[in-house]
Amino acid sequence: MRATLKVNGKTHVLNDVDPECPLLYALRDNLAMNNPRFGCGLGQCGACTVLVNNVPTRSCMFPVTRAVGRDIVTLEGIGTPEHPHPIQTAFIAEQAAQCGYCMNGWVLSAKALLDKHPHPTEAQMTAAFEGLVCRCGSHVGVLNAVRRASEAKGRA
C-alpha cells in the first residue's frame, strides 16, 4: 500500500509498505530516522515512543495504517542541538540520562505530560511514566528534569 505520513511537520509518502508494518519500522527503515529505537518489540519498554496527536504511543505496536492522517512527532521533531526544546534543556541540566537508549519514551512522555499539566503532581508524573523502562537507573534525574521544566514554564 501507499501511505502518507506527517512526521515532525513534514509530509512523507511511503510506497509499497505493508499495512501491518509497525510505525517504528516505517520511521527507521523508510524514513531513515535514528529515533525512535527498537527496545522490546512488545510495547513494554517505551524506547520506541513517539507522539501521535500529542499522545505517547509505542510505535513498535502501532500499525502504519493507523498513523495516516495523524501528526507524528519523534524526539528529533521537538528540538535541535542548537535550539533544544525546554524539556530537552531540563534533561541536559539534570544529566537525566546515562546511556540514553530509553530517552525517547521519557522525554516525549514528559513533553506530553507538561503540555497537558504544566505543573504536574507526583501522581501525574508516576502515571505518565508508567510502563517506561530505564535500565541505567536515571529515574531520579528524569523526575528532577520534569520538575525543572515545570518551574521554567511558570517563569515563561
The per-residue pLDDT for 99 is: 80
Full set of structural domains in the chain with CATH: 3-74 (3.10.20.30), 86-155 (1.10.150.120)
Question: Which residue type does 61 have?
Answer: M
* Residues 111, 51 contacting (CB under 8 angstroms): yes
Q: How far apart are CA 52 and CA 59, in angstroms?
A: 9
Q: Which pairing describes strands 71-73 and 55-58: parallel, antiparallel, or unpaired?
A: unpaired
pLDDT tens, N- to C-terminus, the chain (156 residues): 899 999 999 999 999 899 999 999 999 999 999 889 999 899 889 999 999 999 999 999 999 999 999 999 999 999 999 999 999 999 999 998 878 888 889 999 999 999 999 999 999 999 999 989 888 788 888 898 999 999 986 655
Q: Are 148 and 115 in contact (CB under 8 A)?
A: no
pTM, entire model:
0.92
